[in-house]
């Protein structure tokens, strides 16, 4: 129960959320923002066509994730700010971050999580890897070895 864990870990709410799931997770994040909290939306994968329950789940949300994303909307809710499609428009502005992240990775200070529940080998496995990724049962990145 994500909402219960948020309440346990951050009883006063969340000041900032990086949200890329959409659906119920988006609403859970919105429900747990502090009065001056900020949410940066970077996607809404749970609302893609692979999820037959997407329309039902998202119908309960305060905001429409697809519009928020594709229109790059900024919504104010009192003192809260919700930024849609928070990806940078000018990637040169974050170029230095790439080097820093790669350095931290090479030093073992950060890890990349790779889902190891299934092996995908060869081009013929790519569609299975995509289906697995969209299943919602993965932890980390899904890799197909070519």
What per-residue confidence (pLDDT) applies to 93? 74
The Cα 40–Cα 111 span in angstroms is 22
What per-residue confidence (pLDDT) applies to 37? 97
For residue 26, pLDDT beyond 90: yes
pTM above 0.75, yes or no: no
What per-residue confidence (pLDDT) applies to 144? 95
Greater confidence (45 vs 33) lies with: 33
Give per-residue pLDDT as tens, 66-122. 899 999 999 999 999 999 998 888 878 787 788 889 999 999 999 989 999 999 999
For residue 51, pLDDT beyond 80: no
For residue 136, pLDDT beyond 80: no
What per-residue confidence (pLDDT) applies to 145? 94
The Cα 40–Cα 36 span in angstroms is 13
């Amino acid at each position: 129960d994500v909402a219960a864990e948020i309440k346990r870990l951050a009883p006063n709410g969340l000041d900032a959320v990086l949200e890329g799931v959409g659906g119920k997770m988006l609403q859970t994040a919105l429900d747990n923002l502090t009065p001056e909290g900020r949410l940066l939306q970077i996607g809404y994968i749970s609302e893609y066509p692979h999820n037959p329950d997407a329309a039902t789940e998202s119908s309960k949300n305060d905001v429409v994730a697809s519009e928020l994303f594709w229109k790059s909307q900024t919504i104010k809710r009192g003192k809260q700010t919700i930024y849609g499609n928070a990806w940078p428009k000018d990637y040169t502005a974050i170029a230095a971050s790439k080097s820093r992240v790669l350095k931290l990775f090479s030093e073992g200070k950060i890890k990349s999580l790779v889902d190891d529940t299934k092996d995908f080998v060869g081009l013929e496995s790519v569609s299975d890897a995509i289906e697995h990724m969209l299943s919602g049962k993965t932890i980390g990145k899904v890799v197909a070895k070519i």
